[in-house]
């Protein structure tokens, strides 16, 4: 009986560990985010949007971005942080 319980628990664990739709979305890449920039730190090459801090690599132009600007950010997870791939102006806000 104990072996059956262990087998059932192991099977349940494997079923729960199977990738679902959220995992599929993560593999496809994060969705763009939009909103109003609340802070720009040119020295650290970061910006804050929606309470999150994004790193902006040198290949992405940060020179004209100011707090209060409405944008759409295309980003990716890289090195444990959110890294901006592209910044688009947004008509929202």
C-alpha 89: how far from chain center: 19
User: Could you tell me which residues come within 8 angstroms of residue 8 by beta carbon, excluding any fewer than 6 positions away?
Assistant: none
CATH of 3-89, one of 3.40.50.1110, 3.40.50.300, 3.10.129.10, 2.40.50.320: 2.40.50.320
Residue 49's pLDDT is: 97
pLDDT digits (tens, 9 = 90+) for 25-59: 455 678 999 999 999 999 999 999 999 999 999 99
- If you compute the radius of gyration of the chain from its CA atoms, what whole number of angstroms results? 20
Residue 30's pLDDT is: 86
**How far is 36 from 14, CA to CA, in rounded Å?**
42
Three-class DSSP category at 80? coil
Domain ranges of the chain: 3-89
Q: Which carries the bigger pLDDT value, residue 39 or residue 92?
A: 39
Give the pTM.
Answer: 0.68
**How far is 37 from 91, CA to CA, in rounded Å?**
13
């Amino acid at each position: 009986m104990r072996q059956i319980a262990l087998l059932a628990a192991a099977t349940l664990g494997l079923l729960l560990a199977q990738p679902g739709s959220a995992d599929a979305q993560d593999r496809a890449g994060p969705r763009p985010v939009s909103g109003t920039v609340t802070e720009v730190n040119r020295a650290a090459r970061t910006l804050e949007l929606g309470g999150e801090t994004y790193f902006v690599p040198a290949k992405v132009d940060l020179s004209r971005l100011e707090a209060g600007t409405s944008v759409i950010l295309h980003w990716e997870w890289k090195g444990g942080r959110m890294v901006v791939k592209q910044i688009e102006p947004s008509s929202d806000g």
